[in-house]
Structure 1
Amino acid sequence: MNNALRITAFAAALAATFGTAYGVGRSVDPLVAAEDRPAQHGGHGGGEEAGGGKEKQQAAADHAAGGLEISDGGYTLALEKPVIRAGTRSEIRFTVKDDSGRKVTAYRREHGKELHFILASSDLTQYRHLHPVRAADGTWSTSVELPEAGGYRAFADFTPAAAGAENLTLGADLAVSGSYHPAALPAPRATAETDGYDVALDGDLRAGRSGELKLTISRNGRPVTDLQRYLGAYGHLVALRSGDLAYLHVHPNEGGPGPDVSFTATAPSAGTYRLFLDFQHEGKVRTAAFTVRVPASAEKGGDHQEGKGGNEGEGKGEDKGEDKGGAGHAH
């Protein structure tokens, strides 16, 4: 039997299936290995009472992660057409609506943009950081070509201009039709290579505690000390949790222009995460990706826990006019 799954135009009706099979969305139990599954129902280590305490702990962890909800804080992300075709440049149109159903037309600018739009495949091998354009009526649009079919998650990271509004990251499912071949999550490694650059990862991503992640960029064995600012910073980072694609807000630290770029981040739970570093050098944006495993808080991972690693498959998705880096926005 052909292992390829043919996804046709009716893929929109199968969005729930994608969510179940590939871990897209929040309402399903992702099919991931036990050691990679984010801690559920308070599974952050021993010593917790069963019941309410664990549920509160998990609720707090989920609150720390974004992109799990299509609606939050009185705002909703609405994709105009939740299906596109693999290998074809397509336009994605979407709106953000308030609780009365009106399209939002005013935003606060962060890192030079009113809204950051990110696409990631459910197996975390495809990633795009896009810069959509907003029409006067509040409709956003951007074009993208995704080479691989399957289930994707679309993230909108923004802050409405309304008084008292806070930053939100909303997520919606996107189906990409075509022949789908599932890919395994790359194994953790401490280095990654992208477009002739070597990036080394040091530091810890910890469950429930902040930690520093330092990434060091070199080329041809020499440190890169003349990184260029991109969206107001020398590096941007997005972290996504394998299984449900929870989106972490990563805070960039002061410094630059290289070779080190550092960030402060807190993992909401144990699990496996994919990190996407975006940096600019000689006028071009490059992306390095890493797989990191975060142990439960009860496991004494220390300062040298497993998970300070990159991946072997950084070559997917060469620059085709869209940015494929993370927006590590400091909110």
Structure 2
Amino acid sequence: MNTGLKITVFAAALAATFGTAYGVGSGVGEISPEPKRAAHETHDGHDGAGHGGHHGAGHASMALPGGLQMSERGYTLALKTPAVAAGRATDLRFTVVQDATGRPLTAYQREHTKELHLIIASRDLSLYWHLHPTRAADGTWSAPVTLPKSGAYRVFADFTPRGGEGLTLGADLTASGSYEPAALPAPGTTAEVDGYEVTLRGRLEPAKGSELTLTVRRNGRPVRDLQPYLGAYGHLVALRAGDLAYLHVHPGGEAGDGTTEAGPDIPFTATAPSAGTYRLFLDFKHGGEVHTAAFTVRAAGPSQRPEAAGTATPVPSSHAGHGH
């Protein structure tokens, strides 16, 4: 990750009340990935369910999805810069505090080549960045960011304490000034980003494992030489519309294992325990750069016909903010 990255924001939204959504119904459940095998990791439990923490299906029974709480299982996310000035470069700083001692955590277990994955998303889900901050010896993490547009954002720290289980903690971040929230993109199945076309097949279903396949093409031709990005050919983050419950899902297989193909298809398995609307962000690497495609998906009940929608995510062309 290029720590000198300047994050460019195209639009931002002011804070939304917990559990409400921009034109989206409530009552949405947690997405829980279901690993096909050990390599099929996801985070929200850190064991195969997705970064959200990096939790697996074993955490599907948790009371709350990842990222909804600042404190959980003996750890607290302490954001030292909860408010920033829009348009100004800011060194975003935070610590993960051990509740038992009151001291910052300094011993982390690397997950997908990094000690901690930092996600920043706007409350209206129009903006998204995957960053990898730098940790000082005293446990303070920092990442340079610039949010030129005002609004409300959510910060997610996805990590695994050494010897412990993975989890994701969340905190609110505000950029000062007037704002106007963006509408959630309408459903569809194609996203275009940086000259690539990404299509989504499959659908989320409540309380049932769903097969999702993302296919990458460029100039109409399948991309069969995707490059490893943090040990995989793709990373999928799901954020629930409204409260921004967080999940990071990894595809089956591992890059370079001799059997997993480097595209054009990137398969995932995930479960949406209840009907609702989610925003999916796919990170993939090709041509030496990380690209992000975004989709809006609806998980519907048996009597409803779910739809999927895709739009490109406005991320910096350098993609240095991706630290996965």
Task: Give TM-score, length-normalised by structure 2.
Answer: 0.79
1:209 deviates by: 2.0
**For the pair shown, which has the larger CA radius of gyration, 1 or 2?**
1
Give SS of 2:176's match.
strand
More relative contact order in 1 or in 2 (CA 8 Å, sep 6+)? 2
CA distance in 2, matches of 1:198, 1:122: 26
Aligned residue type for 1:275: L
Greater share of helix:
1
**Matched residue, 1:49:** none
1:4-153 map, 5 Å: 19=15, 22-23=16-17, 28-33=18-23, 36-39=25-28, 63=63, 65-99=65-99, 100-153=101-154
**Matched residue, 2:6:** none
Tell me if structure 2 keeps the 8 A contact 1:275–1:290: yes
Tell me if structure 2 keeps the 8 A contact 1:217–1:258: yes
Distance 1:177 1:204, change over 3 A: same
1:277 deviates by: 0.2
Distance 1:258 1:60, change over 3 A: closer
CA distance in 2, matches of 1:111, 1:31: 31
**Matched residue, 2:276:** 271
Tell me the alpha carbon deviations over residues 186-222 of structure 1, each in whole angstroms, 9 at most, x when there is no partner: 0111000001000000012222222111000000000
**Matched residue, 1:257:** 262
CA distance in 2, matches of 1:105, 1:170: 16
CA distance in 1, matches of 2:211, 2:303: 17
Give SS of 1:227's match.
coil
Measured on the aligned residues, the alpha-carbon RMSD in Å equals 2.2
Distance 1:271 1:232, change over 3 A: same
Distance 1:315 1:70, change over 3 A: closer
Aligned residue type for 1:266: T
**Matched residue, 2:203:** 204
Distance 1:185 1:62, change over 3 A: farther
CA distance in 2, matches of 1:244, 1:306: 21
Tell me the alpha carbon deviations over residues 78-127 of structure 1, each in whole angstroms, 9 at most, x when there is no partner: 10110112233221000001122111001110100000000000000010
5+ residue gaps, structure 1, are 1-16, 41-58
**Matched residue, 2:256:** none
CA distance in 1, matches of 2:217, 2:108: 37
5+ residue gaps, structure 2, are 1-12, 30-58, 254-259
Task: Give TM-score, length-normalised by structure 1.
Answer: 0.78
Give SS of 2:63's match.
helix
Aligned length: 276
CA distance in 2, matches of 1:135, 1:204: 42
CA distance in 2, matches of 1:167, 1:88: 33
Tell me if structure 2 keeps the 8 A contact 1:216–1:258: yes
Distance 1:245 1:124, change over 3 A: same
Give SS of 2:187's match.
coil
CA distance in 1, matches of 2:212, 2:147: 29
Distance 1:75 1:30, change over 3 A: same
Aligned residue type for 2:282: L
**Matched residue, 2:215:** 216
